[in-house]
Amino acid sequence: MRLLVFVLALAACTSTAPPTPTETVCPDPDPGTLTWDSFGQKFMTDYCTMCHSSALSRTQRNGAPYAHDYDTLKSVLYIPDHIDADAGSGPAAHNTHMPPDRCPSTPGGALDRNCAKPTDEERTNLSLWLACERNRPHTF
């Protein structure tokens, strides 16, 4: 019984909310204010592509999953739900799993600095942009 209490107490200390879809819906009509050029590319460059880049080999990615690359709009739209659930904010969730606490100063480098963190507004805009961008026509 003591072991069970210990395990449950440990779990309470260590478990965090899992990545959760924010269930953000793009307004109709799409306002078109948040785009890859006006928002998405800068967000990904500021917070993600030091690890989530197609230019990095597996051993250079500091734990970022292979094929989870955010250096192009096409690759972002490959897994928008995943990005939303890890870093987005919306009606159903406020996700802060990404970026992590430590980041590299150079792509693929050592984790030698604290990661810059998006503001709550940026996380909300991320989810809203993804909700709209996924429904827009693309040529790729």
x-or-dash string of contact with other proteins, 31-70, rule CB under 8 A: ---------------------------xxxxxxxxxxx--
Q: Where are the beta strands (DSSP E) in the chain?
A: 102-104, 111-114
The minimum distance between CB 78 and other proteins, in angstroms, equals 12
The reply on whether position 120 binds other proteins by CB under 8 A is: no
The reply on whether position 5 binds other proteins by CB under 8 A is: no
**Binder among 74, 97, 113, 136 for other proteins (CB under 8 A):** 97
The reply on whether position 19 binds other proteins by CB under 8 A is: yes
Name which of 35 and 100 has its Cβ closer to other proteins.
Answer: 100
**Residue with the two structure tokens 């870093």:** 87
Paired residues of 111 in beta bridges: 104
Given a contact cutoff of 8 angstroms between Cβ atoms, the answer to whether 77 and 60 are in contact is: no
Question: Angle at which helices 120-133 and 80-87 pack, to 10 degrees?
Answer: 160
**d(C-alpha 35, C-alpha 32), whole Å:** 7
The reply on whether position 25 binds other proteins by CB under 8 A is: no
